[in-house]
A and B are shown apart, each in its own frame.
Chain A
Amino acid sequence: DTGVSQNPRHKITKRGQNVTFRCDPISEHNRLYWYRQTLGQGPEFLTYFQNEAQLEKSRLLSDRFSAERPKGSFSTLEIQRTEQGDSAMYLCASSRPGTGDSITKNIQYFGAGTRLSVL
């Protein structure tokens, strides 16, 4: 169990540029989640996947944001035309499959995050 890996750890970009983040979940986990966290706040849900299917996108995710999970493995989160308000920590989490009332499927394992600074 190597843990959830996120790259890069830090990204500094200029306003208007596009950025892409990558998340590698724990290998046997079929669910993958993206959250955004700003200073002093808890993580806010952005989107999630079951295998390669994107289940829901938060209204926080404007048209400038897109997430993919090809082949149900790693996932990418792209932000186009970045704005200063996009500066935040972007967290990825994954959870293992479970059946019925299984608790284990509801435990999320988080990566260390990608900190984005838009200048």
Chain B
Amino acid sequence: SQKIEQNSEALNIQEGKTATLTCNYTNYSPAYLQWYRQDPGRGPVFLLLIRENEKEKRKERLKVTFDTTLKQSLFHITASQPADSATYLCALLRDSWGKLQFGAGTQVVVTP
């Protein structure tokens, strides 16, 4: 079965620096890989989607890469701000109906 691994330790980073999060999976490469943000007590919020044939996707200060050879996606937050503090979840598309399998998430804490 597909396993998804994200850094379990919180990432503490200083404001203005780049945060880099890792998502590794074990088996087949999904057609899509997504990143969501989740704040305490709230539902996840979609950030970015990258297809298996795309190497990189950007949205404002966010960048996602997808390496199907390494079975890995990297998520970057550049010029990080305290408002970026949250848990970031990696999700793999499991079927054509949109079923997602999520990683456990990585907490990011940005200090001023």
Contact (Cβ within 8 A) A112 B41? yes
Count of B interface residues, CB-CB < 8 Å: 24
Contact (Cβ within 8 A) A112 B46? no
Chain B residues whose C-beta falls within 8 Å of the C-beta of A31 in the assembled complex: 97-98
Residue A79 lies at the interface, judged by CB distance under 8 Å to chain B? no
Stretch at the interface among A14-22, A37-45, A68-76: A37-45
Chain A residues whose C-beta falls within 8 Å of the C-beta of B102 in the assembled complex: 35, 42-44
Residue A116 lies at the interface, judged by CB distance under 8 Å to chain B? no
Residue B80 lies at the interface, judged by CB distance under 8 Å to chain A? no
Contact (Cβ within 8 A) B34 A106? yes
Give, as a whole number of angstroms, the nearest-CB distance from A9 to chain B.
9
Contact (Cβ within 8 A) B98 A106? yes
Contact (Cβ within 8 A) A106 B89? no
Give, as a whole number of angstroms, the nearest-CB distance from B98 to chain A.
5
Contact (Cβ within 8 A) A108 B98? yes
Residue A63 lies at the interface, judged by CB distance under 8 Å to chain B? no
Chain A residues whose C-beta falls within 8 Å of the C-beta of B100 in the assembled complex: 33, 43, 45, 108
Residue A26 lies at the interface, judged by CB distance under 8 Å to chain B? no
Contact (Cβ within 8 A) A42 B97? no
Residue B93 lies at the interface, judged by CB distance under 8 Å to chain A? yes
Q: A40-B104, A44-B102 are in contact. Are A106 and B93 (CB under 8 A)?
A: yes
Q: Mark A75-115, 1 if CB is under 8 A from B, else 0.
A: 00000000000000001010100000001011111111101
- Chain A residue with the shortest CB-CB distance to B91: A42
- Chain B residue with the shortest CB-CB distance to A9: B41
Rank and list the top 7 A-B pairs by shortest CB-CB distance, nearest first. Answer: A110-B43, A42-B102, A107-B46, A43-B102, A42-B104, A110-B44, A41-B104
Supply 5 further A-B pairs (C-beta < 8 A) apart from A33-B99, A107-B46.
Answer: A4-B43, A108-B44, A108-B46, A112-B41, A113-B43
In the complex, 15 of the A-B residue pairs with CB atoms within 8 angstroms, ordered by the A residue number, are A41-B104, A42-B89, A42-B91, A43-B89, A44-B102, A45-B101, A55-B97, A56-B97, A103-B51, A106-B32, A106-B34, A107-B34, A107-B49, A108-B100, A110-B44
